[in-house]
Amino acid sequence: MIKNICCIGAGYVGGPTMAVIAQKCPNIKVTVVDLNEDRIDAWNSSNLENLPIYEPGLDRVVEEARGRNLFFSTEVDKAIDEAEMIFISVNTPTKTYGVGKGMAADLKYIELCARQIARVAKSDKIVVEKSTLPVRTAQAIKDILDHTGNGVNFQILSNPEFLAEGTAIDDLFAPDRVLIGGDITESGQKAINQLVDIYANWVSKDRILTTNVWSSELSKLTANAFLAQRVSSINAMSELCEKTGADVNEVAKAIGMDSRIGSKFLKASVGFGGSCFQKDILNLVYIAKSYGLNEVADYWEQVIIMNDHQKRRFAKNMISTLYNTVSGKKIAFLGWAFKKDTNDTRESAAIYVADDLISEQAMVSVFDPKVDETQILFDLNYLETRSDIENKKYIKIEKDPYSTVENSHAIAILTEWDEFKTYDWKRIYDSMLKPAFVFDGRNLLDKKELEEIGFVYQAIGS
Ligand SMILES: NC(=O)c1ccc[n+]([C@@H]2O[C@H](COP(=O)([O-])OP(=O)(O)OC[C@H]3O[C@@H](n4cnc5c(N)ncnc54)[C@H](O)[C@@H]3O)[C@@H](O)[C@H]2O)c1
Ligand SMILES: O=c1ccn([C@@H]2O[C@H](COP(=O)(O)OP(=O)(O)O[C@H]3O[C@H](CO)[C@@H](O)[C@H](O)[C@H]3O)[C@@H](O)[C@H]2O)c(=O)[nH]1
């Protein structure tokens, strides 16, 4: 029985997954380590509102386990040394330099972890890939561990994480499946069983799937590609709906009732965001190309092309509807996060829409219930379209939704936060310039109600 676990990387995956393992397995000591001191301090904060990640239910899990058998620390070597099982949960962003720039996953953080484990480990370890990795990465990790280690035995498992942000705790409590890939050798199977035993503390065995390492690694990329493809497919239809008088919500409902298609992930939107879909599909495209599978690569790349188009055409439509100019006009954004119930903004459609509008000299005011000013400015500056000083001239971050919309020409809904539905829309209408436009990038609001108030209301796909 495993008694001591360490996880390298205290981010959106490492933090919540380890908090849940610790809560469900009080007899296992779980230490989550990170190089980022501020992040670790925030995880250790006595005020649970200051945890570095906003995720419904996370605070209660952390409150129960932290200090009992859940620890957050920057002492990476010590945690590696003491652990029998080490999860690697570091970031694997798209490469921004060199071969594979803009496509391949950057594995430098993974390699650094492998080298650190090899240097520090004095006893046998099971190393678990929790990060999303290109198929066959386990081989590279194994090479590094076996050739630079201190002669100790390592088993490498792949255990990709399928949680979605905003529902991470529910997803971890009741996963559709847990996937564990390992070597087919006897010691490989033993390592798999040790990880199965941990999850079996709260997940029924028939939901714990074991495979070879390569299937497990590739299944993660495949799952994200299929999910993102559904969003791009319905978004492609949304544009056709707008031209033909069909309504994409009705189309989605009609096809979703076919049990072979299913109703989930058919919500038309301003485009998918988040740290995973784009990165993982680009990675898949890169892998396919590297094997010379150009048709396979092109097929999946189209999902990204469609998504970029959807974001861009949302901004274009705003500009053309606002009489072909937004220069000097106040445009209010409700929402900046890539989806509701998270403070994560990575690849959020809002960033790209804002960037396009600012290029047309719009004055953008933003309100998001969980995203702060520093993050919003960081996101815009990261695109490097213009300088920080220039961006600051055009964007204003507000703390109150009503002042955000006051005297604006138009509102754009970029995130589907529930609270937006509960606002006093008559009060909002009264405070805006007329005609008062709402561009609903999430099909969140009630068209009839808004039109009765007097808004010019435009949704996606109708
Ligand atoms: N975010 C999600 O919803 C999600 C879901 C499933 C899988 N994933 C995958 O999980 C992985 C992690 O994603 P994330 O969103 O948690 O990333 P993140 O950026 O939030 O967290 C990664 C953390 O790793 C730390 N780190 C990097 N190198 C380190 C090192 N050498 N030593 C110690 N700490 C180090 C960073 O400081 C950072 O805090 C990625 O591969 C991602 O694709 C993410
Ligand atoms: O019908 C839909 C469903 C989603 N989205 C958008 O798609 C993006 C991604 O949403 P979601 O998948 O719910 O969130 P993520 O946290 O990115 O989770 C995905 O990416 C994770 C990281 O790999 C995986 O673990 C999850 O299983 C996978 O759902 C968001 O911008 C959503 O608004 C839509 O526009 N329409």
Residue type present at position 176: D
Confidence label for 269 from pLDDT (cuts 50, 70 and 90): very high
Span from the CA of 290 to the centroid of ligand 1 (angstroms): 25
Query: Which residue of 92, 179, 221, 227 sits with most ligand 2 atoms within 8 Å of its CB, as the best mutation to test the pocket?
Result: 227
Span from the CA of 80 to the centroid of ligand 2 (angstroms): 32
Q: Provide φ and ψ at 218, rounded to 5°.
A: -75, -30
pLDDT exceeds cutoff 90 at 369:
yes
Taking a C-beta distance cutoff of 8 angstroms, is the pair 92, 133 a contact? yes
pLDDT exceeds cutoff 80 at 421:
yes
Q: What residues does 210 pair with on adjacent strands?
A: 180
Taking a C-beta distance cutoff of 8 angstroms, is the pair 301, 285 a contact? yes
CB 34 near ligand 1, within 6 Å: yes
Q: What is the mean pLDDT of residues 231-249?
A: 98
Percent of the chain scoring above 90 in pLDDT: 98
Ligand 2 atom 25, closest CA = 162
Six-digit token string for 195: 């990880």
Ligand 1 atom with least separation from CA of 165: 3
Q: What is the mean pLDDT of residues 260-285?
A: 97
pLDDT exceeds cutoff 90 at 397:
yes
Query: pLDDT tens digit string along 67-104?
Result: 999 999 999 999 999 999 999 999 999 999 999 999 99
Q: What is the mean pLDDT of residues 361-388?
A: 97
Span from the CA of 241 to the centroid of ligand 1 (angstroms): 38
Taking a C-beta distance cutoff of 8 angstroms, is the pair 110, 131 a contact? yes
pLDDT confidence of residue 149? 77
Confidence label for 198 from pLDDT (cuts 50, 70 and 90): very high
Distance CA 280, CA 288 (A): 12
Mean pLDDT of all residues belonging to the chain: 97
pLDDT confidence of residue 28? 98
Span from the CA of 349 to the centroid of ligand 2 (angstroms): 12
pLDDT confidence of residue 302? 98
DSSP 94: B
Distance CA 169, CA 119 (A): 34
pTM greater than 0.80 (yes/no):
yes
Ligand 1 atom with least separation from CA of 280: 43
Ligand 1 atom 39, closest CA = 11
Taking a C-beta distance cutoff of 8 angstroms, is the pair 137, 110 a contact? yes
Distance CA 109, CA 137 (A): 13
pLDDT confidence of residue 150? 83
Spatial neighbors of 238 by CB under 8 A, at least 6 apart, are 248, 268, 310, 460, 461
pLDDT confidence of residue 408? 98
Ligand nearest to the CA of 75: 1
Ligand 2 atom with least separation from CA of 12: 16
Q: What is the mean pLDDT of residues 246-263?
A: 98
Active site amino acids: 276
Query: pLDDT tens digit string along 108-149?
Result: 999 999 999 999 999 999 999 999 999 999 999 999 999 887
Q: What is the mean pLDDT of residues 257-273?
A: 98
Ligand 1 atom 43, closest CA = 132
Span from the CA of 38 to the centroid of ligand 1 (angstroms): 15
pLDDT confidence of residue 354? 98
pLDDT confidence of residue 151? 85
Taking a C-beta distance cutoff of 8 angstroms, is the pair 127, 141 a contact? yes
pLDDT confidence of residue 224? 98
Distance CA 357, CA 340 (A): 23
CB 79 near ligand 1, within 6 Å: no
Spatial neighbors of 402 by CB under 8 A, at least 6 apart, are 423, 427, 428, 431
pLDDT confidence of residue 148? 84
Residue found under tokens 């188009």: 309
Ligand 2 binding site (Cβ under 6 Å of any ligand atom): 132, 161-165, 224, 227, 231, 265-267, 269, 272-274, 276-277, 338-339
Ligand nearest to the CA of 31: 1
